[in-house]
Amino acid sequence: MAIMIDFTKSIRPNSIHSRSVRGTGSVVYRDSESVIRTAPRTCPHRGGNLELGRVEKNGCVSCPYHHRMIEGTPVRMSNGIAWYGDSITPPALPEWSDPDFKTFEYTREIISDPSVMLENLLDHEHVDAVHAFSLKRGTSPRIVKIFGDPRTNHGYALYDYGGGFLLENEFWLPWTNVLRFKLKHNVLCLWSSLTPLETPNNNTLAMHFRVSRNGDYKWVPNCVLAWINDFVLSEDRRIVKDIDGDFVGTLSDPADSFVSLYREMKKKYDPMAR
């Protein structure tokens, strides 16, 4: 399972990150050569807590219980992003290397299950019901295209709202999403990846964003775009914060087709998924 380690910028050299990625049983650290590594959360010798360990000059973690040296495994890097696991990672987006686009990134912690949050991102119909920044009430887009490719764990949907406004929505299993808002030549691209964090209630995730935009959007300050995104997330949290596990219910409406595709692909990707 490929999980993006989206808090790597906050890891000081030679220090253990205090948060563990749920499901990996690992801690994350950056060695003196700035290589990002993972190590077991507990020492295999006598179970010492390596979150309290120390990163040595040789790149190993020194266990605080007996000073045993544990060699961490380098994390795979792709397009400047750290990924943990061995499945397919999302490819680089064309906006990241296009000089006509400005890009910035940041991370937020959210109280939600990652599957719930991703289904929320894929559900285009909720925008009109939940968000103050939605289109005119009752606006229903035309579904132009929806498809999934199990070879790359990738799903894609295209919606046409009319008047030159298009919405592209993509996902890569398990928890990566891209939204592109296109108004004629203006493009606002919101890339997000969800990392489940090990917490007492196991209902916390880190959302890492890369926001790219051109045209008229290019001149909007980063802080303004981040504030708008945070506001939209706060509206989503009112809806999803109390839902434990996956959304349930019958997905029978054509508007549910992209979420249905995600669920179908997720079952094949992870047979234990509900």
Distances (CA, A) of 28 to 45, 93, 271: 19, 26, 27
Query: What is the spatial distance between Cα 227 and Cα 209, in angstroms, rounded to a whole number?
Result: 13
Model confidence at 248, in pLDDT bands (50, 70, 90)? low
Q: Report the candidate in 209, 202, 205 with the shortest Cα–Cα distance to residue 228.
A: 209
Tell me the average pLDDT of the chain: 85
- Read off the tokens for 48: 């010492």
Q: What is the pLDDT of residues 44-62, one digit of tens each?
A: 899 898 888 888 888 899 9
Sign of the Cα torsion 173, 174, 176, 182 reads positive
| Strand partners for 39 | 27
| Domains, the chain, with CATH or none | 3-84 (2.102.10.10), 94-269 (3.90.380.10)
Question: CB neighbours of 273 closer than 8 A, spacing ≥ 6?
Answer: 115, 246, 266, 267
Question: Within its chain, how far is the Cα of 199 from the centroid?
Answer: 17
The three-class DSSP label of residue 222 is: helix
Among 69-73, 83-87, 131-135, the minimum mean pLDDT is found in 131-135
Q: What sign does the CA torsion over 141, 120, 84, 264 have? A: negative
| pLDDT for 4 | 81
pLDDT grade, residue 139 (50/70/90)? low
Rounded CA separation 21/75 (Å): 13
Q: How far is CA 257 from CA 21, 81, 90, 263, in A?
A: 30, 30, 22, 10
Residues comprising the chain, all counted: 274
DSSP-assigned letter for residue 140: -
Q: How far apart are the first and last CA of the chain?
A: 16
Q: Please check the confidence at residue 102 and state whether its pLDDT lies above 70.
A: yes
Q: Is the pLDDT of residue 90 over 80?
A: yes
- pTM reported for the whole predicted model: 0.85
For range 229-250, the mean pLDDT: 76
Torsions phi, psi of 36, nearest 5?
A: -85, 130
The sign one gets for the Cα dihedral 215, 220, 222, 224 is negative
Which 3 state secondary structure label does DSSP give 230? helix
My answer on whether omega of the bond before 174 falls inside 30° of 0, hence cis, is yes
Q: For residues 170 and 178, is the Cβ–Cβ distance under 8 A?
A: yes
Between 105-109, 113-117, 228-232, the lowest mean confidence (pLDDT) is in: 113-117
pLDDT(109) > 50: yes
**The tokens of 250 are what?**
């019958």
Phi, psi torsion values for 191, nearest 5 degrees:
-100, 130
